[in-house]
Amino acid sequence: MNVEVFKTAVILAGGKSSRMGFDKQLLIINEVRIMEKLIHELSKEFEDIIVVTNKPEEYKTAEDGIRIISDEIKEIGPLSGIYGGLKESKSKYVYFIACDMPNVNLNYIRYIKKVLANSKANACVAKREGKVEPFNAFYSVDILPKIEKLITLNRRSISGLIDIIEPIFIEENVLKRYDYSFDMFINLNSKEDLEIYNRKNRQEENYV
């Protein structure tokens, strides 16, 4: 498999975090900042990691192989992060995850790489319970012109992007082989989500 095709991963750390009450890119679980955990895990599979953030000052001591960028186009939500990450990519396909998704599943990532390596698709995303998961997914730099068109039309939704790029969809039966509980798609959007996540972790630790 050509590593250059899958060299870059992007962590989207923008957003207003209004439901959480504080900036989600500063989230700490078990005394470890989620951003540090994401970078550490993704570094095992990707040579180039980009953090798209509205607070670049939080990453002044970024380690080698980590690039910090800010949204080129403001106030259009995560579509801007995808756009910026693809523009700065060092590979054809780019893996995207959000800063409030604490669980990285490397086996699943490797599976998607194999799927894309044997196709000409311009994206690969999961679908479960009838809904598309836009992150924990790969997008190709080839879709940049389509994103630019959406931005010009002031269409900001990622679902609108997925509708026009014809991705490969990974269905539930395959997803369950890698993560039966779908924990790799968990989003910590609120303090309640964070409390539930921490409670579950404590229960698992006690069980072990």
SS3 category, 131? strand
Which runs of E-coded beta strand occur in 14-112?
A: 28-29, 32-33, 48-53, 66-69, 93-98
The answer on whether 183 is annotated among ligand-binding residues is no
The answer on whether 13 is annotated among ligand-binding residues is yes
How many residues are present in the chain?
208
The answer on whether 100 is annotated among ligand-binding residues is yes
> Residue 21: left (phi > 0), alpha (psi -120 to 50), or beta?
left
Q: Which two tokens stand for residue 112?
A: 């998607």
Q: d(Cα 142, Cα 162) in Å, to the nearest integer?
A: 13
The answer on whether 144 is annotated among ligand-binding residues is no
Under 8 Å CB-to-CB from 114, ≥6 apart: which residues?
Answer: 1
Q: d(Cα 66, Cα 76) in Å, to the nearest integer?
A: 24
The answer on whether 71 is annotated among ligand-binding residues is yes
The answer on whether 64 is annotated among ligand-binding residues is no
SS3 category, 46? coil
Residue positions forming the annotated binding site for Mg(2+): 100
Residue positions forming the annotated binding site for GTP: 12-14, 24, 71, 100
Residue positions forming the annotated binding site: 12-14, 24, 71, 100
